[in-house]
Each structure stands twice: as C-alpha cells, then as structure tokens.
Amino acid sequence: MTTTERPPAPTATRSAPPHERGTPGYRRLGVALWLSGLATFVLVYSVQGLLPTLSAEFGVPSSTASLVLSATTGTLALAVLPLSALTESWGRARVMTWALAASAVLALLAPLAPTFETLVVVRGLQGIALAALPALSMAHLTHEVAPRHLGGAVGLLIAGNTLGGLSGRLVASWVAELGGWRAGLAAVGAVSVLATVAFRLLLPPATAPAPARTRLRDLGGPLRRHLTDRGLLCLFGMAFLLMGAFVTVYNYLGFRLLAPPFSLPGTLVGLVFLGYLAGSWASTGAGRLGDRFGRRPVLWVATLVALGGIWVTLPDLLLTTLAGLLLVTVGFFGAHSVASSWVGRRSAMLPGAVPAQASSLYLVGYYAGSSIGGAVGGVAYDHAGWAGVVGYVSALLAGALGLALVLRRTPAPA
C-alpha cells in the first residue's frame, strides 16, 4: 500500500468535517483516546510486574503465575470481535465509556480475591469488559481523523497504550513493595477510575454517523472478506507473533533479574519498564514515518530492530540486557503502530469489508499472541532459562519478518 491510499468517504452525512491536525477537536480527540489506551493497558498489564511476587505468594511456577495476565488477554481476544461489532452501532463514545467504567470496577475488586484462582477469574472478566474498547478506539480514529493524519493519530493512541503499560507496571510494582500485591492492584484501580473520568470529559462529539445496527449473522460476509485478503492475513499474523514475542520478554525478564547473577532488588527490577518510554516515542514516530515514506519499509526495519535486540540481551551483563530490551521495545512498538494503522486503511479499500471488524481481527491476533505466546514463553523459561526465551522470541520474530516479506509483495486493493 502506498501513502496515497485513502479510505472512502462514508455514505451518510457527517455533522462536521474530520479533524485536522492542530485543531482543538483533533487535540481533544487525541488526548481522550490516549487516555483510553492508558487506562486499558494500566488494567491489562499492571500484573506483569507482580508475576514474581504472585509466584512466591501462591507457590506456583512462573508459567502458572502468568495466567493472571493470560486470562485477561485471552478473554479479550475471544470477545473482541463479536462485542466490538455488535456494540458499535450503540455509539462508540457510550460503549467505550461503559467498557472503561466496568473494567475499573473490576480492578477495584481484584485486590479482594482470596485465592489465586479467584484472581484469575476476576482478571478474565476484566478482559471481557475491555473487549470492545481497543477496536472501537481504532475505528473511531479512522472515522474522525482526516486520512492524511491517521498514522500519526494512531501512533498517539498507541503512545497512550505504551504509557499505560509502563505506569500500570510501575505503580503496581512500587506500591506492592510497600504494601503487598493487593495494595498494588488497588492503586491501579484508582488510576483507571481517574483515567475513565478524564476520557469522558475530553472526548469531543462524533462527526461521523454511527453505522447501522449489526446482528451476529451479518458478520459472516465481511469476516470472509477479511480472512481471504492476503495483506490483512499477514497483518493479523504479525500482530500475533510480534505481541507473543514482546510480552514474553517483559513477562520473564523480571524473574531473570531477581535471580543470580543479577540478584537485583524488586524496586530496581520494576524500573526496567521505563523502557516503555522508548516505545511511546517509537509508536508515534513510526506512524508518521509510515505516512511519509510508506508503511512497508518502516514495518520491515522495525521488526529487524526487535530481532536484533533480543540477541543483545543474551549475555549475563546488565548493560547489554537493558540495551537489548530497549531495542526490542522500540522495534515492537514501531511495527505495531504501522501494522495497526495499515489494517484500517487497507480494509476500508476492500469491497464488502468493515474497518472496525478488521481492527477487531487484528486485536484478536494481538491479544491471542499475548495470551498464548506469553504462556508458551513461560514454558521455554521454566525449561531452558533465558536462553530458551531468546530462542523462542527469535523464532516468533523471524516468522513476523517472513510475513512482512510477503506483505511487501502484496499489492494494494484495486
């Protein structure tokens, strides 16, 4: 796909033109959806920094402890497609607000879980509550932002995801060091409540008309159209492989740094999540570079950066481990930003396709990669240590590179 591709205009009448970069509406929309991404990733990934603590608290291995994360991403992956498709016609702003509010309430209940199994169940319910939010956020941007600014806007949304993932991990880890894992999760719940309120106050009125009501039996035609397009299939597969690799690195690096030869204290281990700040820069920058130079080369280079980064982490040296983590983070967020914006643009050009459903399918791959890929990565770590993680992540990223090569040779829709 070249940088000149544009999604077709909706057939219904808009209440106002789409937002241009620099306008008040664009800024309010960007900040609001940035907050929605922050709240989502605060809730989903806050437990990642607590995995060693939960493993010790409940006496379970690292691969089992990761279920508190995999439960959320797994139920989210299962529910994202039907819920986002069926609820879009109810009003994107309304559904996104209710999704954030319900997940925030569950976040306040999670610290009260009496057993590990109960905590896993609550976390699974959070995934269902959040399921419609990520796809609707992407679809909302696609309809509300002028097409030539879409890559940068999606990059801003993913920057919110990045900061949410960072702040959730740091808040949970630091508070848990002082008051235990329950206090850490309670602090995360409070952050999500504040983000939900701010999101609702800032989100501007929609300019694009709401789509017609969708029934489950109406999903089959567009679903087949999406799943028979080679370009979209490559992007869905890349979402699975990239996220599986990325979440594996962050899931089990804490275990490695707490153990010899590093033997770092938990407070310092929590600081590794500051690497997410580089991801925030990379997502916004890659989105704009894709708009300017084309998404194909940017996607290829970003994936190569991540693959090189995981091998830099292999020596038992703190400096190289942190440098490699930084490269993995930059590469992942750069590739994810380009790929996610590409899905909406490509599907908008396919006859019979539905961009919101295409975004949902991308997120199915994304969160399935987090759930399945992260769990399998735990098996690799339990059996072969960090060398097993490096080999496993390399295989996933090599698969993503293969799909990127296929994508480079796939023409844009006619």
Contact 331, 270 (CB under 8 A): no
Please tell me the pTM assigned to this model: 0.78
Q: CB-hemisphere CA count at 13 Å for 23?
A: 15
Give the amino acid at 259.
A
Residue type, 249: V
Evaluate whether residue 89 is within a structural domain.
yes
What are the CA-CA distances from residue 278 to residues 248, 299, 327, 361 (Å)?
18, 17, 9, 27
The answer to whether position 414 is within a domain reads no
Element (H, E) at 369: none
Distance CA 41, CA 192 (A): 10
Token pair, residue 1, equals 């796909």
Question: Are 231 and 358 within 8 A, CB to CB?
Answer: no
Task: Flag whether 17 is in a domain.
Answer: no
Which of 305, 327, 339, 296 has the alpha carbon at shortest distance from 151? 339
CA–CA dist 296, 290 (Å, integer): 8
pLDDT at position 395: 98
10 domain-assigned: no
- CB-based contacts of 115: which residues, under 8 Å, 6+ apart? 58
**What pLDDT was estimated at residue 388?**
97
Domain with residue 308: its CATH number is: 1.20.1250.20
CA angle 37, 77, 295 (to 5 degrees): 60
Cα separation, 11 vs 174, in Å, equals 51
Total domains in the chain come to 1
Q: How far apart are CA 104 and CA 110, in angstroms?
A: 10
In a domain, 378, yes or no: yes
Which pLDDT score, from 0 to 100, does residue 108 have? 94
- Structural domain boundaries enclosing 194: 24-204+213-408
Q: Tokens 């979209």 identify what position?
A: 232
Tell me whether residue 197 is in a domain.
yes
In this structure, how many other beta carbons lie within 10 angstroms of the beta carbon of residue 148? 14
**Residue 12 belongs to a domain:** no
Q: Is the dihedral of CA 320, 242, 161, 2 positive or negative?
A: positive
> Distance between CA 227 and CA 222 in Å, rounded?
9
Which pLDDT score, from 0 to 100, does residue 219 have? 66
Residues whose CB is less than 8 angstroms from the CB of residue 244 and which lie 6 or more positions away in sequence, other chains included? 369, 370, 372, 373, 374, 376, 377, 396
Each residue's pLDDT, cut to its tens digit, for the chain (414 residues) gives 333 334 444 445 666 666 777 688 778 888 888 888 888 888 888 898 899 999 999 999 988 999 999 999 999 989 888 877 776 667 778 888 899 999 999 999 999 999 999 999 999 999 999 887 877 887 777 777 777 666 677 777 777 777 777 778 888 888 998 899 999 999 999 999 999 999 999 888 777 666 666 666 666 677 788 888 898 999 999 999 999 999 999 999 999 999 999 999 887 887 887 887 787 777 777 767 766 766 788 888 999 999 999 999 999 999 999 999 999 999 998 898 888 888 877 887 777 777 777 888 898 999 899 999 988 999 999 999 999 999 999 999 999 999 988 887 777 666
pLDDT of residue 213: 64
Residue with tokens 């879009």: 88
Q: Has residue 15 been placed in a domain?
A: no
Can you name the residues that pair with 19 across neighbouring β-strands?
Answer: 145
Q: How many residues are listed for the chain in this entry?
A: 414
Alpha helix (H) ranges present in 110-149?
116-130, 132-144
